[in-house]
Amino acid sequence: MPATHEVTNQVPPVIGRDLSTFPALLEGLRREGAGWAEQEVRDLGLRAGGEQAQTWSRVANDHTPVLRTHDRYGFRVDEVEYDEAYHQLMRVALGAGLGGTAWASDRPGAHVARAAKMMAWSATDFGNLCPVAMVYAVVPALRTNPELSAAYEPLLTTTSYDPDLRPPEAKKALIAGMSMTEKQGGSDLRANTTTASLQTDGRYRLTGHKWFTSAPMSDFFLTLAQAPGGLSCFLVPRVLPDGTRNAISLQRLKDKLGNRSNASAEIEYDGALGLLVGEEGRGVPTIIEMVNVTRLDCSLWAAAGMRTGTAQALHHATHRKAFGDRLIHKPAMANVLADLALESEAATTVALRLAGAVDRAARERRTPDVVAVPDCPGR
């Protein structure tokens, strides 16, 4: 190779590092009552930083989901194809208990342990974390309907991953999605125009267009529609108990800036079967219970992103040379890195304290009333 192509003064890749070896993360884990999970967090952090998981992350982000509306014979199939790398990330995440398993545990600190593992696994591609977060967050909302909760919760609190298209009752694990936003209303959910018509058999049929639906290959969606008693929340399965498809059409996938390995779609309900969750007219308060819990994961991801960025900056400054010395030895650079580390540790501490508050509230409310994420104590 010609000397002009010799590579020097470049930073080695960040591969093979335990991404949980962060004092604020492990200290927060112990402080909030989940020190028993430290080895699990370390094991997952090491896997997240490994070459295999990092390769899956790159491939899943490069090979984005593909919508297949029809098969070769002209029949509608409404399926989204994901790269196998995405499925591998999902298997590890759910297998590590990042789904709904904490809700089924009586062990103190279960939600904190999950939070710490979520932060460790966040060093992979963020696309797999969205459906995983919704599996976790949907459990409190379903508990407003004891019958639905009894049927679905055991399949949401498992460590399995089952992406096959089958009726929920025939699967070993479920993925949940949310379908709220409409183009004329956006975040003004009460402006939604999707309708839910009550049938003589006591079930509802939904008709309308949803502008944004997360994880369209989920096994069911919590969705909002206008019922006779007002805006209400419904569980809409993708496959009916007899194995036929529910009347849900995928119109297109969203062309997103980020989170690209996970699909988001516009969908159409054309008389789709919906099961009432909560009371008629209480749709927003019911689905907000799911939304509220996803905010915990949003906080965890933000803190984890700050940590990953800080770790990358420290790694770069440690190896890169400029003006006769390594960057980390330059006073101005060291000040910047110190500020980043301080803010990252603060964010991690706050996020785990919030997870601890959720954990304490969940243990105090072993009833179907587990709802909003509470404030941190001492706030």
Q: Is pLDDT of 342 > 70?
A: yes
- Percent of the chain at pLDDT > 70 equals 96
Backbone angles phi, psi at 252, to 5 degrees: -170, 160
- The DSSP annotation for 46-95 comes to HHHTSHHHHHHHHHHHHS--EEEEE-TTS-EEEEEE--HHHHHHHHHHHH
| DSSP 3-state of 213 | strand
Q: Is pLDDT of 307 > 80?
A: yes
- Report pLDDT for 364: 86
Residue 118 pLDDT grade (very low, low, confident, very high; cuts 50, 70, 90)? very high
CATH of 164-286 among 3.40.630.30, 3.30.70.260, 2.40.110.20, 1.20.120.450: 2.40.110.20
Kindly report the average pLDDT of the chain as a whole number.
92
Structure tokens at 331: 């006073």
User: What's the pLDDT tens digit per position in 231-290?
Assistant: 999 999 999 999 999 999 999 999 988 889 999 999 999 999 999 999 999 999 999 999
- Report pLDDT for 370: 44
Q: Is pLDDT of 101 > 90?
A: yes
- Report pLDDT for 366: 66
Spatial separation of the C-alpha atoms in residues 136 and 159, rounded to whole Å? 12
> Please, what sign has the CA dihedral across residues 302, 305, 309, 314?
positive
- Report pLDDT for 277: 96
- Report pLDDT for 368: 47
- Report pLDDT for 372: 45
Spatial separation of the C-alpha atoms in residues 277 and 127, rounded to whole Å? 27
Residue 227 pLDDT grade (very low, low, confident, very high; cuts 50, 70, 90)? very high
Comparing CA positions, the residue from 97, 58, 24, 69 lying closest to residue 268 is: 69
**Residue with more model confidence, 20 or 193:** 193
Q: Is pLDDT of 378 > 60?
A: no
Using the 8-state DSSP alphabet, how is residue 157 labeled? S
Burial of 51 (0-12, 13-18, 19+ CB in 10 A): exposed
Mean pLDDT value of segment 18-41: 92
Q: Are 213 and 222 in contact (CB under 8 A)?
A: no
Mean pLDDT value of segment 366-373: 48
Spatial separation of the C-alpha atoms in residues 140 and 367, rounded to whole Å? 10
Q: Where are the domains of the chain?
A: 23-141, 164-286
Number of other CB atoms surrounding residue 225 within 10 Å = 27
Residues 6+ apart with CB under 8 A from 294: 133, 134, 137
201 to each of 33, 197, 215, 275, 285, how far by Cα in Å?
A: 48, 11, 30, 12, 26
- Report pLDDT for 1: 61
Predicted TM-score of the model (pTM): 0.92
Spatial separation of the C-alpha atoms in residues 213 and 78, rounded to whole Å? 14
Exposure class string for 177-187: b at 16+ Cβ within 10 A, else e: bbbbbbeeeee
Q: Is pLDDT of 369 > 50?
A: no
User: What's the pLDDT tens digit per position in 64-82?
Assistant: 999 999 999 999 999 999 9
Exposure class string for 306-316: b at 16+ Cβ within 10 A, else e: bbbebbebbbe
